[in-house]
Amino acid sequence: MSRGTEDDKRTRILRAAMEAFMEHGFAAATTLEIATRAKVSKRELYALVGNKEQMLAACVAGRGQRMRLPADYPAPTDMASLRQALRQYGATLLGELMDPGVLGVFRLGIAEWKRSPGVAASINDQGRRPARASLEALLKSARAAKLLAGDGLATMVAHYQGLLWGDVVWILLGTDRVPSAKEVHQRADEAARAFLALYGA
C-alpha cells in the first residue's frame, strides 16, 4: 500500500470516527461501524490508527496543532510586535475553537465525562496543553524582552484566556451563537489590548 493510499484511508477513518462519536457517543460507537463508514477493514483500521481512544486522540491532536502560533513565529521585540503576536494567537485559537467540529469534540467530552473519562483526557492532552504551551512560550519570551511585568506566568495565562474566551461556555451549550470570523478577530484584538493594559511594561 502506498503512503498516499494509507494517508487517505487514515483521513477517512478519523472522519468516520468523529461522525460516529458525535452521533452515538464515544462508548456506543463501534469500531465495526467506523470501519464500515470509512470503507476499510477492521484490520486496516487498527493498523493505521488503532483503537477508539487512539482515534479520538489523533482527531484532537490534529486540531490541537492548529490552536497555536507556528513554531517559527518570531519572538516579540517591542510592544507592537507583542500585541500583534497576542492578536494572532487569540484569533487562531478562538477561530479553531469555534469550528463546528471542535465544538462537537468539546460537547462530546462534556457528555461523556463520567462514562468515558478518556475523552476529556484526550482533549486536555492533545488540544489544551499544546495551545497553552504556545501561549506560555510567547509570554516567557515577552517577559525576557522586558515587555511584561507583574504576576507569575500561570496568572498571566489565566487572565489572557479569560479575556479571550469570555462567554464560550454558553456557545458550548448552544444558547449563544458562534461568533463570525470578524467577531473572532475583534475579540482577539480586544483581549490583547486589555491584557497589555494589565501587564504591559
Same domain, 15 and 81: no
Domain count, the chain: 2
Are 20 and 114 in the same domain?
no
Q: Are residues 185 and 148 in the same domain?
A: yes
Share of the chain above pLDDT 70, in %: 98
Which spans in the chain are helix H? 3-24, 31-38, 42-48, 52-64, 79-97, 100-111, 117-123, 129-144, 153-165, 168-172, 181-199
Do residues 113 and 178 share a domain?
yes
Check if the beta carbon of residue 14 is closer than 8 Å to that of residue 122.
no
Do 39 and 94 lie in one domain? The reply is no
- Confirm whether 55 is domain-assigned: no
- 94 & 115 share domain: yes
* 10 and 84 assigned to the same domain: no
Give the predicted TM-score (pTM) of the model: 0.80
pLDDT score of 3: 60
CATH code, domain carrying 20: 1.10.10
Structural domain of residue 159, as residue ranges?
Answer: 62-199
* 165-178 per-position pLDDT tens digit: 888 888 888 899 99
Mean pLDDT of 14-20: 90
Express each pLDDT in 41-60 by its tens digit.
999 999 999 998 888 888 77
46 with 71, same domain? Answer: no
Q: Are residues 117 and 86 in the same domain?
A: yes
Whether the pLDDT of residue 192 is over 90: the answer is yes
pLDDT given at position 60: 78
Shared-domain flag, residues 106 and 9: no
Residues 117 and 182 reside in one and the same domain: yes
In a domain, 57, yes or no: no
End-to-end, the C-alpha distance of the chain in Å comes to 57
Residues 122, 60 contacting (CB under 8 angstroms) = yes
40 and 73, same domain (yes or no): no
Residues forming a β-bridge with 200:
148
Read off the pLDDT of residues 138-168 as tens digits, 9 standing for 90 and up. 999 999 999 999 778 999 999 999 999 888 8
Give the range with max mean pLDDT: 19-28, 114-123, 172-181: 172-181
Question: In the prediction, which pLDDT does 197 show?
Answer: 96
The CATH number linked to 78 is 1.10.357.10
Per-residue pLDDT at 4: 62
